[in-house]
Amino acid sequence: MKKNMVTRMILLCLQMIVVSGCSRSTETTSDVAAPPDPRETVVFDFEGTEPGTIPDTFTTGLVGGGGPVRWEVLEADDAPSGDRVLGQLSDDKTNKRYPLFVCETFSAKDVDVSVKFKTISGQVDASGGLIFRCADPNNFYVVRANSLEGNVVAYKTENGKRSNIGVKDQGDAYGVKVDVPHQQWNTLRVRIQDNLSEVFLNDRKLFEVENDTFAIAGKVGLWTKADAVTYFDDLSVKSLDAVE
């Protein structure tokens, strides 16, 4: 009888652990010590990072010319979650200048990635973007939303050179025209499987892209251009790769 009770207590404890894990199937973290389980979504909300710094699981970079980038966590009253966001604060007006913010603890070939972003200022550019299948700072896919141009466009950066990769069934169309509210929070999302990417803005699917340039696993991260000062929050990443 006592043995049965002990067994039942062990099973109850295991159930509690499983339920607790399921209630956080979307893991919120600012610093991930190891690559996440491919079956889980990880959300970087930057709440655990001191203002004026960046999480040690990310690195910054720059493609093109111009001055240094300036990524840092800062406090924001209207943060989508908590009270801290990540900002790209440099405002160098060099046109072909692309600041990068790369997650070093996540890599996947097929991935569902999204971020909340708010364009703050920029005369040359006012945009926020997602990079994925990033092999290195000069080779990756990027989808960005631009408040000045009012569009969302998919590109590839290959050997440091950025080029438009068009829209499925529309050839080399330059993305899709759509309102990207300035100084308001928006959500940009990309889901890529094999050579097909689906692009969403504010929960609305805008277009698809087919491209074979980068066909292996890579890192994910954030992107801006030129003098775009942009805030980001809740970078969400989920591997769609099969679990071996």
Q: What is the mean pLDDT of the chain?
A: 88
Q: Residue 52's pLDDT is what?
A: 98
* Cα within 13 Å of Cα(156), Cβ side: 18
Does the pLDDT of residue 205 top 70, yes or no?
A: yes
pLDDT tier for residue 40 given thresholds of 50, 70 and 90: confident
What is the average per-residue pLDDT within 129-148?
Answer: 98
In sequence order, the 6+-apart residues with CB closer than 8 A to the CB of 36 are 27, 42, 105, 106, 237, 239
pLDDT reported for residue 242:
81
* Angle value at C-alpha 129, between 124 and 130, nearest 5 degrees: 160
What pLDDT shows up at residue 150?
Answer: 98
pLDDT tens digits for range 51-65: 999 999 999 999 999
The percentage of the chain sitting over the pLDDT mark of 70, rounded to a whole number, equals 83
Q: What is the DSSP string of 54-119?
A: --TTEEEEEEESSS---EEEEE-TT-SSTTEEEEE------SSEEEEEEESS--BSSEEEEEEEEE
Distances in Å between the Cα of 159 and the Cα atoms of 77, 137, 214 are 39, 9, 12
- φ, ψ for residue 175, nearest 5 deg: 60, -150
The domains located in the chain, with CATH, are 2-239 (2.60.120.560)
- Three-state DSSP state, 191: strand
